[in-house]
Amino acid sequence: MNALTISITLAGASEVDMALQDLRNALARRGPMHARMAVRAMEKTQEHLIKLNRHSTAARLGATPSGHHDKAAASVEAQSDESQARVTIPRRTGLGRAFATVVIRPGSGRTYLKIPAHATTYGKSVRDFPAGTFRFAVIKSWRIFLAQVFAAGPYQGEVGYWLKREVTQKQDRNLLPSDETYALAARVGAIEYLTRLTAGGPQGGTSSGMPSAYPSSSS
């Protein structure tokens, strides 16, 4: 009996190979994944700062809170490249003391720091008041204190600012999320990216490096 030979050709094999190669290429590109990790870490930082709700100085002075931490949250940025994901926090936020004790000294050409001591001066600098609003004073108590007091008006004689040559702010790690929280946020971001990548195929990128399938913020 003659043998019957059947030839089978798998149509579309080249397309499958191309899809697999695209997936391998996408996995080799770490930039988009790092971008997603950075966004998740940034969001956790912002949430933490907004929830801090620390207004002890404002409460002590009877002043309106300045919203310092809300402003700090708004200035936090997510940055990334092929090698890492980063959260950038500007120095002006004062959050550097989350990592170490910070000593603040006057800027160039200045002798003293001016620390608000009155509800009217809280959140403001001397430059926010008309010239002549304050006068220099030496206050003797259990030790000598240098101050600027109101020169006239309803607060005449009251201390507007304490003058100090330096201020030490002790380290406070609680100003920012814990290392564990950051690790979890980064892990969630990586899983989100990889899940979308393997489920829907390689994603295109945007100018920011974020996969186009992702919104800038999601829950």
- High-pLDDT (> 70) share of the chain, %: 79
Instruction: Output the pLDDT for position 195.
Output: 87
Contact at 8 Å (CB) between 31 and 81? yes
What distance in Å separates the CA atoms of residue 213 and residue 219, rounded to the nearest whole number? 14
Residue 49 pLDDT grade (very low, low, confident, very high; cuts 50, 70, 90): very high
Q: How confident is the model over 106-144, as pLDDT tens digits?
A: 988 899 999 999 999 999 999 999 999 999 999 998 889
Distance CA 92, CA 140 (A): 33
Bridge partners of residue 85, in order along the sequence:
80
Two structure tokens written together for 149: 């007091």
Task: State the amino acid at position 99 in one-letter form.
Answer: F
pLDDT score recorded for residue 219: 33
CB atoms within 10 A of CB 166: 10
Alpha helix locations (H) across the chain? Answer: 13-28, 31-52, 56-61, 68-75, 179-200
pLDDT digits (tens, 9 = 90+) for 21-43: 666 766 777 888 899 999 999 99
Residue 203: strand, helix, or coil: coil
- Mean pLDDT, range 150-170, rounded to an integer: 95
Cα 77–Cα 78–Cα 81 angle in degrees, nearest 5: 135
pLDDT tens per residue, range 82-105:
899 999 999 888 898 999 999 999
Cα–Cα distance measured from residue 69 to residue 87, given in angstroms and rounded to the nearest whole number: 16
Amino acid letter, residue 98: A
DSSP SS3 for 84: coil
For residue 19, report the phi and psi dihedrals to the nearest 5 degrees: -65, -40
Q: Which residue has the higher pLDDT, 64 or 42?
A: 42
- Classified as helix, coil or strand, 144 is strand
Q: Worst-scoring range by mean pLDDT, 4-18, 163-177, 205-219?
A: 205-219
Phi, psi of 65 (to 5 degrees): -55, 140
**What are the extents of the domains in the chain?**
19-105+171-219, 106-165
